[in-house]
Chain A
Amino acid sequence: MIQLPCPWCGPRNVSEFRYAGEGGSRPDPATTTAQQWRRYLYMHRNPLGWTKENWYHGSGCRKYFSLERHTETHEIRTPEPQVEETSTSENAGESSVAQEAVEAR
Chain B
Amino acid sequence: MLEVEGLSKAFGGLRAVEQASLRVDAGEIVGLIGPNGAGKTTLFAAIAGFHRPDAGRIVLDGRDITGQAPHKICAAGMVRTFQITQPFGKISVRENIMVGAYFRTGQRREAARVAEDVAMRVGMQGQLDQNGNDLTVAGRKRLELARALATGPRLLLLDEVMAGLNPTEIVEIIGVLKAIRAAGVTILLIEHVMQAVTSLAERLYVLNQGRMIAEGTPAEIAENPQVVEAYLGPGAAKVLRA
Does A pair with B? no
A residues near B (Cβ < 8 Å) are none
